[in-house]
Amino acid sequence: MHTTIFHVLTLFPEMIVQGLSPSIIGRAWEKNIISLNTVNIRDYTADRHGKVDDYPYGGGAGMLMQAQPVYDAHTAVTGGRKVRTIYVTPQGTPFTQAKAQELALEDELVFLCGHYEGIDERVLEEIVTDYISIGDYVLTGGELPAMVMIDAIARLIPGVLGNDISAEEESFYNDLLEYPQYSRPEVWHEKKVPEILLSGNHRKVTEWRLEQAKQRTAERRPDLYEKYQEKQLLIQRLARHKRNNIHMMESLARGCAEVLYCDIMTVNHLSAGNPAVSGQYPAEVKHSVTEKHSESGKSAVPEKFPTKGKCPVPEKRITEISLLLYHRSCKTCMAIAADIASGEAIAEKLPEDTELVIVSDPVLKELLTQHHYRVMDSYIQMLYTRKEPLPVRHKDIYPLTMEHFPYVCRWYCNDGKSVPGINDAYVRERIQAGAMYGAFAEGRQVGFVGIHSEGSLGMLFVEGAFRGQGIASSLEACVVNRMLEKGWTPYGHISAGNTASEKLQEKLGFYKAEKTFWWLEKTLANST
């Protein structure tokens, strides 16, 4: 099993150990999911009296930590290997959830906690890779900031929080502050629990909570609320072609993707069959761009009326979007491009470490297959937009744990004709994220289904001998219901030509997108 190691270089190691041990982090340490190695910098001083500090050259208040003990403590821990080393300092860049996610991908981290007025700059230059602060206020040392960061990073490591859908996917209202919550008793200090929460109407409860979350965010965090509204506007734009865009809408709504490129054009669409129009424009001018925004983050700009490309006849204005979304946690991108220029801009902006790209425009497919990506397969996108939960006939369906890993691998990884790109490590990660469910019959596992890391429903499998009994339907229904509870819109990608699966989805109430979807996989850079 894999263990993430946190080394902490400090003058107060007991503070770190005592601070983290009683928490969930301590439990993860006992289970060897993480390991905490505290090192007392004082143990490495070359000074006979154990001194580690001295006066700053040039004068000034207080003392500085000297380079030698810090350097030797660091070398003792890393043995000269290149290990990501974080100096926690008020002079660092502010710590964020994004930084926590990035650091959670490392196998080993060193935290250096300063004391006194700081540390001799020369040793920092040699060992530090990241300078990080936890905010604009003054503390007495770096131990609490190091503990804050370790806590935030460790809870993102699979297995630390237990086996439920990962901490990151849990909240539907990801971009908003949380709604108020109430527990027993129903009346306390003459204050009654809001009526709607006692109604048992799940949908009404969800709506009420969203409204509360919005109100509270607008009031307490206007900065977050503005971002939320921008994103909602983008989702609304995408919703004009919902069946083709549901994958992007859901990624944004579930808060698991960031916008790397967004270009919204308002287009004067001239229908080919309109005799009033034909002849007035050169054949190749099918539309005129009247507005174009390419700045990511300034995505949701209100539509304006045409300013250029004046058109003599009334025409239909449509909005076309080019968009690049990035799921940092699974190195997966989703992209749509309205034209070649946007496609090229998207290819340009694609992060280098992107392992999988999901596209639904031939332009993008062509461009990216010239750019180190290769088509794995083509898919039909299907979505379920009803709000009603589906009936689950087969009752023996449970979330999978690692004890079921060999079963899933046997049927999914080693069975040549399965989905390309699915491998042992991926299956393990999905199980640990709580994203896989198994069907059981006659006292053993007979099938499974899961939610892919970028959010689509898939990985459906039922053993031959148990097919035709509604087990596959029940597996799917179970995941659909789970998603509906979270306020998600379930969607999936069906391998083109897998008519059996398509039929099953249709029977459950899913319907198809018009576009074809391609999954593009990164080819090795040196093999091109």
Chain residues binding ligand 9D3 by CB under 6 A are 88-90, 114, 117-118, 133-135, 137-142, 145
Q: Which is nearer to ligand 9D3, 133 or 266 (CB)?
A: 133
Q: Which is nearer to ligand 9D3, 91 or 236 (CB)?
A: 91
Q: Is 249 left (phi over 0), alpha (psi -120 to 50) or beta?
A: alpha
Q: Which is nearer to ligand 9D3, 135 or 180 (CB)?
A: 135
Cβ count within 10 A of residue 195: 8
> What DSSP character marks residue 462?
E
Q: Which is nearer to ligand 9D3, 13 or 492 (CB)?
A: 13
Which residue type does 274 have?
Answer: N
Residue 135 C-beta: closest distance to ligand 9D3, Å: 5
Cβ contacts of residue 423 below 8 Å, gap of 6+? 413
Residue 176 C-beta: closest distance to ligand 9D3, Å: 26
Residue 331 C-beta: closest distance to ligand 9D3, Å: 29
Assess contact for 109 and 86: CB atoms under 8 A: yes
Q: Which two tokens stand for residue 470?
A: 């509604």
Residue 219 C-beta: closest distance to ligand 9D3, Å: 26
Q: Provide the b/e sequence for 289-328 (b: ≥16 CB within 10 Å).
A: bbbeebeeeebbbeeeebeeeeeeeebeeebbbbbbbbbb
Residue 145 C-beta: closest distance to ligand 9D3, Å: 3
Residue 120 C-beta: closest distance to ligand 9D3, Å: 14
Residue 39 C-beta: closest distance to ligand 9D3, Å: 17
The whole-angstrom separation of Cα 505 and Cα 494 is: 9
Q: Which is nearer to ligand 9D3, 61 or 187 (CB)?
A: 61
The whole-angstrom separation of Cα 255 and Cα 228 is: 10
Residue 42 C-beta: closest distance to ligand 9D3, Å: 17
Q: Which is nearer to ligand 9D3, 137 or 305 (CB)?
A: 137
The whole-angstrom separation of Cα 191 and Cα 194 is: 9
Q: Which is nearer to ligand 9D3, 116 or 172 (CB)?
A: 116
Q: Which is nearer to ligand 9D3, 12 or 379 (CB)?
A: 12
Q: What separation, in Å, do the N-terminal and C-terminal C-alpha atoms of the chain show? A: 34
The angle, 0 to 180 degrees and rounded to 10, between the axes of the packed helices 222-238 and 202-220 is: 130
